[in-house]
Amino acid sequence: MKRGTCNAMRSKCRLRTSFHVSRVTNCRCVQSRRSQSAGFTLIELIVVMSIISVLILLAVPSYTAAVRHAQESVLREDLHIMRAAIDAYTMDKQKAPQSLDDLVQSGYLRAIPVDPITHEKDSWVADRSDSMYSIDQTDSGIDTVHSGAEEQGSDGQPYSSW
């Protein structure tokens, strides 16, 4: 079969068997149409990139809020555990710990936790008090601990006051 113009091929193939219809795909016009529609247009790419940008702009604040909430939860739990260890040390030893390392050396804590806000072990602020919690207590010392972070929490209070 000769290779002619597309219209001639189509008109011939319509009248013939399905064998000839499959040969229509070899026509130059059909091939050129396929090569023109093989990729995306610039407008389509811009639209897709715009949609992706909007989704990212919506997701990033939610992600950062979730990370901040998780850090605050860890901070609350660490403060609770360290304060409970200070109280247990004070009741057991009849004196308050002089440093946070006393809690680790006595086995009340495995290690001083890392402050989730400052990401440092040394940023904890231990508050000392002269008051005694029991009649049998002989020495005053650390009675509570706070974070050394200067930022404000999601509740509006600074982390150092938690």
Residues 6+ apart with CB under 8 A from 34: none
pLDDT exceeds 90 at position 59: yes
- At 102-157, the pLDDT tens digits run 999 999 999 999 999 999 999 999 998 777 666 666 777 898 999 999 999 999 99
Find the Cα–Cα–Cα–Cα dihedral 130, 133, 139, 141, rounded to 10°.
Answer: -60
State residue 27's pLDDT score.
52
User: What is the predicted pLDDT for the residue at 36?
Assistant: 61
Q: Tell me: the pLDDT tens digits for 82-91?
A: 999 999 999 8
Residue 50: pLDDT band with limits 50, 70, 90: very high
Q: Is residue 5 pLDDT above 90, yes or no?
A: no
Model pTM above 0.75: no
Task: Give me the pLDDT at residue 139, please.
Answer: 75
Look up residue 57 and give its amino acid: L
Is the pLDDT score of 73 beyond 60?
Answer: yes
Residue 75, pLDDT > 60, answer yes
Distance in angstroms (rounded) separating the CA atoms of residues 112 and 120? 10
